[in-house]
Amino acid sequence: MTPADLWQQARSDAADGDRSTTERVLRQAWDESRSPFERCLSAHHLATTSADPRDALHWARTCVQWAAETEPAAIIGVLPQIYLSLATAYRSASDVDTARTYFLRAADACDEDTDVVVGGAITTGLIGTGFVPRGLSDELIDLIEALVARRSLGALAVLLPAVLSGAVSDGNVARLAAVLDEMFWTPGLVDDDLSDLTRLAAAQALVQLADDDAAVANASAVSAPVGAGASAASAHPPVVTHAADAPVPATDPATAAQTDDVPFRI
């Protein structure tokens, strides 16, 4: 059997809950792998199915090492999952800083074809390792986790790009609030029991904008000479969040941002 056949068999064994057979089959796939691509994916499967955190970290690191030896065209589609696996393994090993770096690399590897559940796991990982997109709140974290758990793919596809782009500017935080408001008013996009949480998340993003404006105004009042012109806070445009008043532009999954010197997009 080829490594690809063994990966498929292992997926079937894993679905049946047969962990020992799954590991044995994947070890066989690793032993029979010859190309960098085969070694990369065999290691990836071992990393994602290992019950031992140390083994998971070993295989995830091995996977990334072989990914570097693989033709980019062959591996680019699975890079988000590869980096996500390594980030998760580092997080399990309590190496939060390294985990955050690889969550960011996973986000950067995403494109419009990336599974939104993978994107949601990356976002949740970033949040859990201390990366805080602007506009984030406890309500928004709870909403994202609920949408991921329910595989609410349409809502996630709308929300996740706005969440991560919110790290850049006040305008993007306002856009996040507008997207959440649009989700609230769009019938069927979020389950009824999540509607209040969606609206609260939008409100909290606006609260952060107001707090930021107040901080800028206070800083300007302290530092500006007497008679100086209007404070920087006045440069922020008014925010209208009701979808009926101001339609929200289509969300661009490829929107990019820059943070910690690592570009990312979802």
pLDDT in tens, 150-177: 999 999 989 988 887 655 467 778 888 9
pLDDT over 70, % of the chain:
77
Tokens representing 244? 């009926």
Q: What are the C-alpha distances in Å from 176 to residues 25, 58, 191, 196, 240?
A: 45, 38, 19, 16, 12
- Of 8-22, 66-80, 165-179, which one has max mean pLDDT? 66-80
Is residue 244's pLDDT more than 80?
A: no
- % of residues, the chain, pLDDT over 90: 44
Residue 61 has pLDDT above 80, yes or no: yes
**pLDDT mean across residues, the chain:** 78
- The b/e string for 59-74 (b: 16+ C-beta within 10 A; e otherwise) is bbbbbbebbeebeeee
Band of the pLDDT at 29, cuts 50, 70, 90? Answer: very high
- What DSSP state is assigned to residue 93? T
Confidence of residue 139 (pLDDT cuts 50, 70, 90): very high
Helix (H, G, I), strand (E, B) or coil at 264: strand
Q: What is the pLDDT of residue 223?
A: 46
pLDDT class for 111, splitting at 50, 70, 90? Answer: confident
SS3 73: helix
Res. 256: pLDDT tops 80: no
**Structure-block tokens of residue 12:** 């079937």
Closest of 84, 149, 77, 89 to residue 114, by C-alpha: 77
**CA angle, 118 then 121 then 124, to 5°:** 150
pLDDT, residue 219, reads 59
Q: Which residue has the higher pLDDT, 169 or 69?
A: 69
The 10s digit of each residue's pLDDT in 202-240 is 999 888 888 766 665 665 555 444 333 333 333 333 333
Domains, the chain, ordered by start: 9-114 (1.25.40), 132-218+235-258 (no CATH)
Whole-angstrom distance, CA of residue 114 vs CA of residue 224: 47
Asked whether 220 and 191 are in contact (CB, 8 A), the reply is: no
Is residue 133 scored above 80 in pLDDT? no
